[in-house]
Structure 1
């Protein structure tokens, strides 16, 4: 078994919503990013790549590559899952913590878990997604940005 930790953060800007865990969340903000800026999926990707020792999101999906401009993070996650599969790894568990004052994801958490479990090719019970605030502290608390941390557990397939 191998463990990986992922982290991502993006600046909040005025807008009409953002993708989090593959789900569009309507709110008064958007995320400043080269891709769709999905901090949850970016954090998941980095945790999986770290666990498998296969690099990081920036080395695989450069922000200098035009084909990654505005790309759906779910497309990137599918490519990472194919890479894990090619290296004979399978996901055991993913634990996600979104750090933000806004938007609130409580009512969308089940849908996020639905999307991610499909993309990660695991049962829903293998994906945990929760959110916390920083009680007004730091860039998240001041609503200048949003961050996410993920811990993943993978294992090498025997066959």
Structure 2
């Protein structure tokens, strides 16, 4: 059995007025926020899914279902911490994270260092081991129309 496991996560959320916009555990000022059962942090959700997938533990909906009121409006940093505990229970730790956000607005470059710090702290890695990139869709599709946001994450785990 390999000591290294890779996982891919993806998450989508609709953008609506009158919601806070959480990305990577950081509150990003914007006229819209992501709609969801939790705080709808697409970046943290994609990372959780990548971690769970790499460890063959299913997905975020299996562990934190949106039908459970215990997760209503929950801070996704709590979900990330619990996911870290789940993979640790199987003997894994995170080596690195590579993530991409797809959104038309706002520009997130100023918030990336804070996101890296939050994520690194919860995963027990350094900020250099957390890569976050962003792109627009050149005004194409639901992301381009600012109706939604998408996050992709790849996580490498190592068996301890």
Question: Aligning the two structures, in what range does the TM-score lie when normalised by the shorter sequence?
Answer: over 0.9
Determine whether 1:142 maps to 2:152: no
CA contact 2:19–2:34 (8 Å) conserved in 1: no
In structure 2, the residue matched to 1:114 is: 117
Between Structure 1 and Structure 2, how many residues are aligned? 157
Q: Partners of 1:139 and 1:122 in 2: how far apart?
A: 34
Match of 2:50, SS state, is: helix
Distance in 2 between residues matched to 1:85 and 1:41, nearest whole Å: 18
TM-score by length of 2: 0.96
Tell me, in whole angstroms, the C-alpha distance in 1 between the residues paired with 2:21 and 2:113.
17
- Cα deviation, 1:3-62, whole Å, max 9, x if unaligned, reads 100000000001253110000011100111000000000000000000110010001101
Report whether the alignment pairs 1:35 with 2:53: no
Counterparts in 2 of 1:74-93, with a 5 A limit? 74-93=77-96
Q: Give the whole-Å Cα distance in 2 for the aligned partners of 1:38 and 1:16.
A: 12
Q: 1:12 aligns with which of 3, 10, 15?
A: 15
Aligned to 2:58: 55
* 1:58-69 superposed matches below 5 A: 58-69=61-72
CA contact (8 A) 2:8 2:54 kept: yes
CA RMSD of aligned residues (A): 0.8
Output the TM-score relative to the length of structure 1.
0.97
Tell me the equivalent position of 2:75: 72
